[in-house]
Amino acid sequence: MEVRGPRAAMPTEEGRYGRLWARTGTKVCSFWLEGRCTRNPCRFLHVELPPPRNNNIACRHPVVKPKSGGGASNGKGSKGKDGFKPEERLCQHWVSGISCVKGDKCEFRHSWSRGEGFSLLAKLDGHDKGIAGIAFPSGLDKLYTGSNDGMVKIWDCHTGQCSDTVNVGSEVGCLISEGPWVFAGLRNVIKAWNVENGAVFDLQFSSGLVFSMVVDNNMLFAGCQPCFGEDELIPRQQFHFQPISDIEGLESNSIVDVIGVVCFISPASSIMRKNGTETLKRTLRLKDESGRSVELTMWRSFCNAGGQRLQTLCDSGHSPVLAVKSGRISEFNGKAIGTISSTQLTIDPDIEEARRLKEWFDREGKDGPTVSISREVSTISRTDVRKTISQIKDEKLGTSEKPDWIAVCATIMYIKNDNFCYMGCPIMIGDRQCNKKVTNNGMGSIDVIAVIDVLMNAITGTFSSFRYRTILG
């Protein structure tokens, strides 16, 4: 028969956890607080902590462990794992709004700012979304804030309270102030308020939401980004094209818009102007569905980027479409078009006229006959005719006063080895160089062998430099 002793009485709740108090401290079981702790006994408390003896809650500051090899540290001046000193960290009770019993003697910061001379004056709560801009008009004790929630709020700088709210009806992209003016960048509009006289203006446009603004020299500059689907509202270049056949009836110096396929382009060349200065020139030929072609002369900067791109496309076998905006008509050797400072050239524009012209050229215009309206003394148009060398001799072409325009296809059999250039005189006559022929005297200097008339005097000289000039035959 088994005999058992009397079962010891179960300790009370206070006695059971009283023994664990010293071992677990004041830590309450988080699972017990959620009602799902399965341990019995549990090494953590299953009771609520009693309230503190005083009404204020002491700061829960981290315990600073003593450094190895030395005595305990008081925590002042020592950095924690986050690399900050205690005086650089925020007091957790101050942040949560609970008064700290240490007050000004707390080793943790009771301020949002770390710099000297800065302190939090007020916390402005009121916007539902992010702040897009803050404006502080000069001579006013009001602060303006704009938010993505479509509201512009006015705050009293003395009390920190919102004194007025303006519903602008759209998210605010930016907000600035200049003198008594406050500008709010919205979608497709900029609102302007004058805080002195109460004037309100709306600057309407169609370019999307304004993200930045700046005022300089009494002018307001705004930067915006078009939203999806709004790029169609941006104005595009407008053309008023005229067929090449109609250019024959236009007067000289008229301004015209023309579009055509580039069927020929010449390399850029340097020519001497009447005033003695040099300039770049490039010539190309345009043809369109009217069966006519016209010569376009590109001057100065038009020969560089745009002209080189056209040259590259033509050399690779492509025939690009060129739209000319504001070209000037000339009547030198027939009707031609030249570029001026306001001319705009667009290569392969994304417009219906260019697509239709390209389809016509690929279908029939590439090999079809073309009548040129350029390089003619009279207004009668001409057709380029291909001739052989024997026909040129038999028909005595080029011997009359009127030039004969022909096309020749031949093979180069021999190139004459004469000089293609000569050494030019470096003397400056006014604003241009003389460029007369000089010769080397064999002593490291150059002799001028041409006579230069300056003030009716024949001048020769010896120089140590020259400039090569190209001979064109």
Domains and CATH numbers, the chain: 9-50 (no CATH), 131-232 (2.40.128.630), 244-372 (2.40.50.140), 421-470 (no CATH)
Tokens of 3: 């005999």
Can you tell me whether residue 442 is helix, strand or coil? coil
Residue 177: strand pairing partners: 182
Pairing state of beta strands 371-372 and 292-299?
Answer: parallel
Can you tell me whether residue 340 is helix, strand or coil? coil
Tokens of 130: 């992010």
Backbone angles phi, psi at 108, to 5 degrees: -100, 160
Query: Does the model's pTM come out above 0.75?
Result: no
Number of Cβ atoms within 10 Å of the Cβ of 335: 24
Chain position carrying tokens 């369109």: 288
pLDDT, residue 460, reads 56
Q: Which amino acid is at 397?
A: L
Which parts of the chain sit beneath pLDDT 70? 1-26, 48-88, 97, 112-121, 206, 226-236, 333, 375-384, 401-403, 416-420, 430-431, 441-465, 471-473
Q: What is the CA radius of gyration of the chain?
A: 45
CA dihedral (378, 379, 380, 383) positive or negative = positive
The rounded distance, in Å, linking the Cα atoms of 139 and 177 is 12
Backbone angles phi, psi at 426, to 5 degrees: -90, 0
pLDDT, residue 65, reads 44
pLDDT, residue 320, reads 92
Which residue, among 258, 264, 262, 263, has the nearest Cα to 353 in the 3D structure? 258
The rounded distance, in Å, linking the Cα atoms of 342 and 328 is 10
Number of Cβ atoms within 10 Å of the Cβ of 284: 20
